[in-house]
Amino acid sequence: MKKLPLVAAILFLFVAISGLSLGGTSNSLMDISASGSQLVCTNRDSGTLSIVDLEKGELVQEIKVGRHPEGVTYIGDTNLVVVAVYADDLLTVVDTASGKVVRTIDVADEPYGVIDAGDGKHVYATLEFPGQLVRVDITTGKVTDTWDVGQFPRGLAKSSTGQIYISEYLTGALKQFEIATGQLTNVDASTGDVFPGWQGTAEDSLARQVTLHPVSNKAYLAHQRSRVTVAHGSGSIFPYVSAVNTKPGTDPEAKRRRRVQMDSFRGTYVVANPWETAISPDGQSLYVIFGGTDDMFVCNVLDDDYRELEYKGGLRVGSNPRAVRVSPDGATFYVYNALDFNVVGYNAKSLQSVMDVKVTSWPYSDEVLLGKKLFYTANPPMTSRRWISCSSCHPDSDADGRTWQQPEGLRNTQPMLGLKHTHPIHWSADRDEVQDFEITIRSALMQGRGLINGRVNDGLADPNGGRSEALDALAAYTNSHGFTQSPFAKQGLSESAERGKALFFSKETQCATCHSGAYFTDQKMHDVGTAATDPTEKLGPEFDTPTVLAVYRSGPYLHHGQAKTLREVLVEFNKEDKHGKTTHLTNQQLDDLVEYLKALPIDDMPSEVENE
Ligand code: HEC
Ligand code: HEC
């Protein structure tokens, strides 16, 4: 064992005696009480919070909290926990002793990470959209402070010295802030230095969580790298843990970010979709889980500003692991398997399982469950080499915010919301059923054996549906997503949006001739003059009319992803009035039209709603 420096040893002793983690707190969908006797986890599909008695190894209670709960945190050493209910835009306070919801607190939209502020009264939460950090007083139910912190913040951690760390989901950037005199700043109050943040590369993506080392200044981010210029499995998606040296000081060399590539970490053993990390209280072991291949790595923390991590052990866990937490004494760690609906405890020394508790059950059909498992797994028969899964680019049915260079041209990833009612499929409508994704499974991208026995039919020829139960299940899951109300419609349409609505449905602009019906698409192909700016385009100039529901958060836009904003779609990319008529509109009218687009959908749109 490496000898700890004196300061570290003293800190370690303090940690051991007090049972407190000096690393502060970090976001997860699972948390363990200060005493180590109880665990809570949120269940995204069932919409519940589960409470587990760790001494008895039993589920105590499962409580309904709302749609798609994500982060959860205990408040100090109390029985209270706070849950971020992502799709209902709520922070929900639950008393785990009584199993009762104490209070629900409205936030703007999409709360993801939530952590204890440490004063017994407040929590911090990231709002993925609109990109904010909020501080909330849980005793009064009031949002006391709101700060804009970037795009799609998810990961959230607070060090014992008061710094706040936030990871941007789609860019993989790590940001550092300090709360000085109630204000969030990115300036160090003691030195006046700006915390620059750590961008990573343009290819880093899907950073959901941040873990802080208990003693040193390291922060760890599990994320992937999406190489959008390569359309084959061995080169497009890579799994990483980035170790960031956050030590204050102006020496740029001291502000390092190192990416540790996880699929060459244990020889040539391939893993996919790094989801979350956790660190032992002594700071010596880092646990990393992989949602795509159902693996876990235990790493020795070297903290050497060079190699950073070293492989120590590994194990296969359950289906789609999404959280890992370590007990306060470091003796046990717990893994949450999202598609086995259980929490499994392991002895940290022997890596043997010591507890297995079913925390919830699947609320939909067996078919949709099978489909979801196939969508999330990078294991055969979906791939041959475990690099990639459908969810690597379509996490939780959302888009990855990226534009891929495909053989046919640039293609922006679309969200899957409302998919069932917006066929045909792909920007070029070259597929007419989700079962045609058998072609993707067998392509160079995934190199899977596939789900059909025998030849796969072309995307527009004879159906591939009805030829394989598993493939039909994948389609059922992929087609199952509805929309939630736009945050811009919560107070009803603004005056500007009302004027925009009139413009949208006017004969002059013609928007509603193509963007028609409940899903705002005629499900047909049109040339709207958008093909010219991509010299690599092979299939244009016609594209399938996309839905304009939920475009408030799905940029960049158009098939080539070159329009950064909705206004650019209507102005820069429509100079010749081929895409509806917009050149005659005043600035105010353009603003009004954009305001209306942002307010869609005006209400929730469950997937049962038909496109009429
Ligand atoms: C490397 C990233 C990547 C992977 C892996 C991937 N996709 Fe996609 N997906 C995309 C991109 C980019 C598009 C847009 C392509 C287009 O329209 O031509 C897309 C489009 C789609 C669409 C069309 C949505 C619409 O509104 O028309 C569906 C459905 C879909 N993918 C399902 C899947 C399934 C199922 C899998 C797994 C078998 C999968 N994808 C794997 C990147 C990916
Ligand atoms: C002739 C049919 C047609 C008309 C009229 C039309 N659109 Fe479109 N719209 C399309 C097609 C096709 C696309 C996809 C083009 C592409 O990706 O290159 C599209 C794309 C869009 C997008 C981008 C969506 C995304 O997810 O990237 C927005 C926003 C949009 N249209 C809004 C409007 C507005 C506002 C109007 C009225 C001024 C309008 N459209 C008029 C067919 C039409």
pLDDT digits (tens, 9 = 90+) for 259-314: 999 999 999 999 999 999 999 999 999 999 999 999 999 999 999 888 999 999 99
d(CA 240, CA 262): 5
Q: Which ligand is nearest to the CA of 548?
A: 2
Q: Is 245 in the pocket of ligand 1 (CB under 6 A)?
A: no
- The answer, yes or no, to whether any atom of ligand 1 lies below 6 A from the CB of 390, is yes
Q: Cα–Cα distance between 485 and 185 in angstroms, integer?
A: 32
Distance between CA 106 and CA 89 in Å, rounded? Answer: 6
Residue with tokens 């873990």: 211
Ligand 2: residue of 403, 509, 548 to mutate (most ligand atoms within 8 A of CB) is 548
Q: Please tell me the distance between residue 236's alpha carbon and the centre of ligand 2 in angstroms.
A: 29
Mean pLDDT computed over 490-497: 97
pLDDT > 90 fraction of the chain, expressed in percent and rounded: 86
**Closest Cα partner for 591 from 568, 612, 567, 575?**
567
pLDDT tens figures, 25-59: 999 999 999 999 999 999 999 999 999 999 999 99
Site to substitute for ligand 1 among 375, 437, 520, most atoms within 8 A of C-beta = 437
Ligand 2 pocket member 580 (CB < 6 A): yes
Average pLDDT over the chain, rounded to an integer: 93
Ligand 1 geometric centre to CA of 399 (Å)? 9
Res. 518: pLDDT tops 60: yes
Lowest-confidence pick of 192-206, 438-452, 519-533:
192-206
Would you say 7 and 49 are in contact if contact means Cβ atoms under 8 Å apart?
A: no
Residue nearest to atom 2 of ligand 1 (CA): 393
249 confidence band (pLDDT: 50, 70, 90): low
- Per-residue pLDDT, averaged over 218-224, amounts to 97
Closest CA to 505 of 518, 515, 496: 515
* pLDDT-based confidence at residue 13 (cuts at 50, 70, 90): very low
Of 527, 511, 536, 480, the residue nearest 597 (C-alpha): 511
Residue nearest to atom 18 of ligand 1 (CA): 426
User: Whats the size of the chain, residue-wise?
Assistant: 612
Ligand 1 proximity of 441 Cβ (cutoff 6 Å): yes
Q: Whose CA is nearest to atom 13 of ligand 1?
A: 413
Q: Residue 147 corresponds to which tokens in the numbers above? A: 């700060």
- Region 82-100 average pLDDT: 97
Please give the distance, rounded to the nearest whole angstrom, from the Cα atom of residue 569 to the centre of ligand 2: 8
- Look at residue 529 and tell me whether its pLDDT is greater than 80: yes
Mean pLDDT of 187-202: 80
- Tell the residue nearest (CA) to atom 43 of ligand 2: 514
Band (pLDDT 50/70/90 cuts) for residue 76 is very high
Using CA positions, which residue lies closest to atom 37 of ligand 2?
Answer: 511
CB-ligand 2 contact for 264 (6 Å cutoff) = no
Give which of 65, 122, 136 is closest to 94, Cα–Cα.
65
Residue 386 · residue 504 · CB < 8 Å: no
Residue 534 has pLDDT above 80, yes or no: yes
Cα(89)–Cα(492) distance, integer angstroms? 16
Phi, psi of 53 (to 5 degrees): -85, 110
Across the range 153-168, mean pLDDT stands at: 94
Closest ligand 1 atom to the C-alpha of 236? 1
- Report the C-alpha gap between 164 and 186 in whole angstroms: 10
Terminal-residue alpha carbon distance, the chain: 67
For 462, residues 6+ apart whose C-beta sits below 8 A from its C-beta are none
272 contacts 378 by C-beta, under 8 angstroms? yes
If one residue of 522, 533, 545 were mutated to test the ligand 2 pocket, choosing by the most ligand atoms within 8 A of its CB, it would be: 545
Ligand nearest to the CA of 423: 1
Nearest ligand, CA of residue 434? 1
Question: How far, in Å, are 27, 209, 282, 340 from residue 322 at the CA level?
Answer: 12, 11, 23, 11
Q: Is a pLDDT exceeding 60 seen at residue 20?
A: no
The pLDDT of residue 394 = 97
447: tokens are 């190199």
CA-to-CA distance for 521 and 434, rounded, in angstroms?
A: 18
Query: Does ligand 1 lie within 6 Å of residue 471's CB atom?
Result: no
- Write down the pLDDT at residue 586: 98
**Residue 556, preceding peptide bond in cis (omega within 30° of 0):** yes
Alpha-carbon span 88 to 67, nearest angstrom: 6
Enumerate residues 6+ apart whose C-beta is below 8 A from 498.
596
Cα 65 to ligand 1 centre (Å): 31
Residue 191 Cα to ligand 1 middle (Å): 48
Query: In angstroms, what is the span from residue 413 Cα to ligand 1's centroid?
Result: 6
At 219 the pLDDT is 95
Which of 306, 291, 295 shows the shortest CA–CA distance to 256? 306
Mean pLDDT of 80-90: 98
- Paired tokens of 226: 């999406």
Rounded mean pLDDT of 431-446?
96
Cβ(422) – ligand 2 distance below 6 Å: no
Per the listing, tokens 């919830």 go with 360
Cβ(399) – ligand 2 distance below 6 Å:
no
